[in-house]
Amino acid sequence: MMSKKLKQPKKSKLLASFSLVVMGSGFVATIPFQGSFLGGLLQGGFEAGLVGGLADWFAVTALFRHPMGLPIPHTALLPKNRQRMTNALVSTLENDWLSKESIRNKIKQINFTEKILSVLEKEIYSDSIKKSAMSLAAQLISHINVEKITPYIEKEIKSSFHSIEMSTVLHTAINQILIHGYDEKALDFLLGKAEEWIRKGDTKIQLGNMAIRALDNIELDGFLQFALKSFQNLLNEEKLGSILQNILLSVVSRLRKVDDTNRKVLLLHIRTELKNIQNNKKLLEEIEKWKGQLIADWKPAEKINEILQNTQQKALAFVQDSEFIDSYLLPFSTRFLNNLKEDKEKITNIENWIQKQFSNLLEENHSKIGKLVQENLDKLDDETLIHMMENNIGKDLQWIRVNGAVCGFIIGIFLTVIKALIY
């Protein structure tokens, strides 16, 4: 819909019409005075001015519409050639005024990186930036879906465990055992537990029972069988258990002494066996199989999800604390900006990247400039478009009408004087 402003006549148009009225009125008013020299002179001027004004009015009007509504050939030029003019305007905008090269050259004159860094340095400590940074960090953390991350983390953890070579683990563990003397400590621990068990009252009875059963199961011939039965009659379970208990305590006591020969031999045997484990392929295969089964049966998803949720809540509380902005984010951002400003190569790379993005956007969207102009022009009906042109470029055209009337008036007077001199 055409606005009232577009429909309002311009002063220049009123002035042009007024000049035409003046010339016409002057011509009519001087008709009775044609006999006098002055009257004829003025009538000639007004007549020529009227003709010039009417001619220019016709020419100017013919650009926009049919004069007086008459379908005179070669009039209403703009409505008839609207599409051609629109295409010419779009082509001029795209290829001349706003061509890709002109826009690209203009963009190249702008150092976006410096401008962005300058703005960041000025605004980084403002309250609005602080609030925005805090809000953005909180939103980023809140929008993390830990339930979707959990399966991925579980898979990666299990994959990491599967990739562990148990031979390497065993080698490292055995070296640490030997370096730190854990084998000797383990032996002392076992001897201590053994001594603790042997000293119990129940142990003596258990040892006696085991000894009696063992003797009963021994089968000997002749005299040896008689001697064994005689020995059994002399000792009961308690006495036999007490003897075995004292023997075992004596053995354990000697083994707990650092300088005991049997202890040294036992430790040497233990250490030798530990070293040989690394070369025991069958054992290693069993350990690998056990590891695989253990990992397959392991279901850490629930625990991982719980840990992630707790971590998310802690992170959210941390970024919502003002200390996060003042003590961590702002100092980090300041250091980052200062380091970036000093790194000329990085700034150049960033600027080249920004220029490249603008160039790509220009390449992809340049045609939309013409399309936008085309669409906006197509929305206007002929009457609205004509009024727009008349109100914007018609000012100079209306002055053509004024100048035509004035020049005609002057030329008319000049021609009247020449006629008077000749005749």
Task: Tell me which of 264, 297, 330 is where a domain ends.
Answer: 297
Shared domain for 179 and 280, answered yes or no, is yes
First to last CA, the chain: 60
**Residue 23 resides in a domain:** yes
Predicted confidence at residue 153, as pLDDT, reads 92
Shared domain for 293 and 176, answered yes or no, is yes
**Residue 131 resides in a domain:** no
Amino acid symbol at 367: S
Q: What is the pTM of this model?
A: 0.48
Task: Tell me which of 244, 262, 297 is where a domain ends.
Answer: 297
Residue pLDDT, tens place only, 55-92: 766 666 666 665 666 666 655 556 666 677 677 767 77
- What would the DSSP string read from start to end of 298-342? ---HHHHHHHHHHHHHHHHHHHTSHHIIIIIIHHHHHHHHHHHHH
Range(s) of the domain holding residue 233: 166-297
Name every residue whose Cβ is closer than 8 Å to that of residue 23 and which is 6 or more positions away in sequence.
Answer: 46, 49, 50, 53, 405, 408, 409
Shared domain for 58 and 176, answered yes or no, is no
Across the chain, mean pLDDT equals: 78
Question: Which is more confidently placed, 71 or 340?
Answer: 340
Residue 377 near residue 385, CB atoms below 8 Å: yes
**Residue 197 resides in a domain:** yes
Residue 166 near residue 291, CB atoms below 8 Å: yes
**Residue 332 resides in a domain:** no
- What would the DSSP string read from start to end of 166-197? HHHHHHHHHHHHHHHTHHHHHHHHHHHHHHHH
Task: Tell me which of 273, 297, 321 is where a domain ends.
Answer: 297
Residue pLDDT, tens place only, 288-318: 899 889 989 999 999 999 999 999 999 999 8
Least confident of 127-141, 153-167, 257-271, 357-371: 357-371
Q: Give the confidence band of 319 by pLDDT, cuts at 50, 70, 90.
A: confident
